[in-house]
Amino acid sequence: MSFLNIDSAKERTFDAIVVGSGISGGWAAKELTGKGLRTLVLERGRDVKHVTDYPTTMMQPWEFQHGGQLTKEYRDANPIASRCYANREDANHFFVKDAEHPYVQEKPFDWIRGYQVGGKSLMWARGTQRWSQYDFEGPARDGFAVEWPIGYADIAPWYSYVEKFAGISGNKDGLPQLPDGEFLPPHEQSCVEKHFTEQMAKHYNGTRPIIIGRCAHLTKPQPIHLQQGRGQCQNRSLCQRGCPYGGYFSSNSSTLPWAAKTGKLTLRPDSVVHSIIFDEKKNKATGVRVIDAHTKEMTEYYAKIIFVNAACLNTNLVLLNSKSNRFPNGLGNDNGLLGKYVAFHNFRTGISAEHDGFQDTTTEGIRPNSSYIPRFRNVFKQETTGPGSRFLRGYAAGFGSSRATDVDTSGMGEDLKNSLMQPKYGNWRVSSHMMGETIPKESNFVALDSSLTDAWGIPQLKISVAYDDNDEKMIRDFHEQMSEMLTVSGFKNIQTHDNPNKAPGLDIHEMGGVRMGKDPKTSLLNKWNQFHTCKNVFVTDGACMTSTSTQNPSLTFMAITARAANHAVEELRKGNL
């Protein structure tokens, strides 16, 4: 019997374990298997195979039973998930249903999740801007959060590394606050977006550039992308369904199959991670406890190194639940800061306008991207006078345009067909949404509920995250500045939009709780994303972020993960882990 137990434990022992198969988990799997490590990837959701498990991807609009909309029954049963812009009839099979995975909202928070192989990399918005040195220097310079243990010089080579593999389209704009990358050809701005860009250069002397967004789409596939089996983006803008062409980057189309090709990957879907196992005699983690999603049987898996990439808030949950005699309040939580200093991006507000020029032009086709307004407030230093001095940090913004159309649908038969083929065009319309940096605060936290558990007996996560006065001041500045910028550019009918009742969370950019830092007294992770007090456990998803800046964060998660995984392998080979 003892030999059977030894064999069983051996079968459950790997060189590395990765918790989570989303955008950062996929990168950890790729790097670790690529270096020869037998790697187990645990995913709490079902398996989703590239191409074959995208059931709606080739459907036509008329094939959807409800015209592409969510039903009232679904909305009533899933008020949180229904609020996500990407959750429609063609994609709601990728979104977690509210009742199946409950959590406690101590303050209102819309937690949007994708529990399947690939995670949210199937449904993300694909914006991929680098951070600059000014973003990493922000906390130390402006006196909030704690100092980052790394700077742009540390991460820049890894940005290049992941950009080449993932495929990032963009233009080399030469902006110090938004460093250029390894770009595929950019998408094109519309004539109205180009006009706005020119007007900003004219009126603001180059301090408020407008650029085409940088995004993870293959506008011109390179050999490395073809080797992944991916093809050129077809500009369908149906990305939330899963792309059978591999036109945008996802774990399913890129990193996970690449890892599988090494023969070193074991992927185990339907595996709900309960906690990390800490061995006090060895003074390190030795594995993870996993509950089967269906049978609810618990199994232990073992490895020399563990990467926790369960997505920010779930990573916090797993670590808080990883209690031992050495760490009674969660793994590595000697300083009591685990779960605290959670931050996000404020997407609460926007602005729209019209332009009555360019009547002889319109757009044809679809572009899965928009223009982008890099942060111009408090970039190089904290402003001490003027409107920018009223708040810390700043905001970026998306900026899109389209030509309004008026179609007569009153006819029948051939008359209706002719009307549909000959729409009447109205003015150009533009819209912009703010992406504001929020300040990490101890009062914004997640914790384990003391009484409520989920279907697997794991404590539910309690979320206590809210806007603050700095966010409100930033919103007012966005309205004032964008109104001014649109006015001097000749736009009319300018209207601001804000919904104070819109809870945080719909940005799906939650970060922090297991922050990096230089001092073990004020942070959980070191500059290589290792726990200060448990060196063989790495956290490289959004939970590791010390601050949020304004850029879409996924590219930074990818670069940080690749950097940490390569360091982990080096340390393992030196016998340091």
DSSP notation for 93-106: GGS--GGGS--EES
- Output phi, psi for 161, to 5 deg: -60, -50
Q: Give the per-residue pLDDT at 407.
A: 82
Residue 3 pLDDT exceeds 60? no
Helical axes 152-166 vs 554-573, angle rounded to 10°: 100
Residue 1 pLDDT exceeds 60? no
Chain segment 43-89, per-residue pLDDT in tens: 999 999 999 999 999 999 999 999 999 999 999 999 999 999 999 99
Alpha carbon distance 43, 271 (integer Å): 5
Chain segment 129-188, per-residue pLDDT in tens: 999 999 999 999 999 999 999 999 999 999 999 999 999 999 999 999 999 999 999 999
Which of 235-244, 419-428, 522-531 has the lowest average pLDDT? 419-428
How many other β-carbons are positioned within 10 Å of the β-carbon of residue 426? 13
Q: Give the per-residue pLDDT at 421.
A: 83
Residue environment code for 124-146, b if the CB has 16+ CB neighbours within 10 A, otherwise e: bbbbbbbbbebbbbbbeeeebbb
| Confidence band for 4, pLDDT divided at 50, 70 and 90 | low
pTM above 0.75, yes or no: yes
Which one, of 301, 294, 297, 293, lies nearest residue 276 by Cα?
A: 301
Which of 39-53, 280-294, 405-419, 462-476 has the lowest average pLDDT? 405-419
Place of tokens 């995975």: 101
Q: Give the per-residue pLDDT at 277.
A: 98
Amino acid 8 reads: S
Amino acid 399 reads: F
Place of tokens 């649109």: 486
- Output phi, psi for 155, to 5 deg: -100, -20
Is the CB of residue 260 less than 8 Å from the CB of residue 247?
no
Question: Percentage helix, strand, coil, to 5, in the chain?
Answer: 30, 25, 45
Is the CB of residue 411 less than 8 Å from the CB of residue 439?
no
Q: Give the per-residue pLDDT at 362.
A: 85
